[in-house]
Amino acid sequence: MTEYSHFEDSIPCGASGMAVGSDGSEVSISDSSGNLAQAGTTITATAAELNILDGVVSTAAELDSFHLTVDMTDISSAGSVWVVSPYAATIEKLYSVISGAITIADAAITMEIAGVAVTGGALTIAFTGSAAGTVDSTTPTAANTVTAAQAIEIITDGGSTDVSRATFTLVMKRT
């Protein structure tokens, strides 16, 4: 029996060059065309592509996820900030964190893509109990898809008082 030891663990091979299973039987590691296969699935990735994934602990879904972050200088003054998505994607979640307490009224935050409101994309930063580090979030339900290089607008109504910076993080999923 021959062993190919250029792998991390040796693969014992029989006389025909096929891999040998733990019970001593030969096991095909290629499909009918001679391509590398496992459990009937042809492996089409290159060695370099497989090496990139070595040690990755993310799921396939997580590999399609990315984040955008943008700061708004003062959520207590009506205005907006913009952030560009580098990929075609869907907004899955919007988080906000403020740098200080706001008073008198809540700050209403909304999102728009190309002038169209993101459905379910509004969040309220409540003045009651607000403090540096307060986190709020919302999960958009529709009208939340962007094309590559399209801008997303995050808008505050300026309803609160006291200057407070907010950092917004959008969780995006490539489409």
Query: Are 68 and 51 contained in the same domain?
Result: no
Query: Are 30 and 104 contained in the same domain?
Result: no
CATH number for the domain that contains residue 160: 2.60.120.260
Query: Are 17 and 30 contained in the same domain?
Result: yes
Query: Are 42 and 119 contained in the same domain?
Result: no
* Portion of the chain with pLDDT greater than 70, in percent: 81
Sign of dihedral through CA atoms 43, 49, 55, 57? negative
pLDDT 10s per residue in the chain (175 long)? Answer: 444 444 445 555 555 556 666 676 666 666 667 677 776 778 888 778 777 777 787 777 778 999 999 999 999 999 999 999 999 999 999 999 999 999 999 999 999 999 999 999 999 999 999 999 999 999 999 999 999 999 999 999 999 999 999 999 999 999 9
Q: Give the per-residue pLDDT at 53.
A: 74
Query: Are 98 and 148 contained in the same domain?
Result: yes
Contact call for residues 132 and 76 (beta carbons, < 8 A): no
Domain C-terminal end among 57, 84, 99: 57
Q: Give the per-residue pLDDT at 17.
A: 55
Determine the longest span between alpha carbons in the chain, in angstroms.
82
Domain C-terminal end among 33, 57, 81: 57
**What is the domain range of residue 40?**
2-57
Q: Give the per-residue pLDDT at 5.
A: 43
Q: What's the domain count of the chain?
A: 2
DSSP designation for 44? -
Query: Are 159 and 92 contained in the same domain?
Result: yes
The HSE-up count of residue 173 (CA atoms within 13 Å, CB side) is: 10
SS3 content of the chain, % helix, strand, coil (to 5): 5, 45, 50
Query: Are 49 and 125 contained in the same domain?
Result: no
Q: Give the per-residue pLDDT at 33.
A: 72
Query: Are 48 and 99 contained in the same domain?
Result: no
Q: Which two tokens stand for residue 150?
A: 């399209």
87-137: pLDDT as tens digits: 999 999 999 999 999 999 999 999 999 999 999 999 999 999 999 999 999
Give the distance from CA 51 to its chain's centroid.
Answer: 21
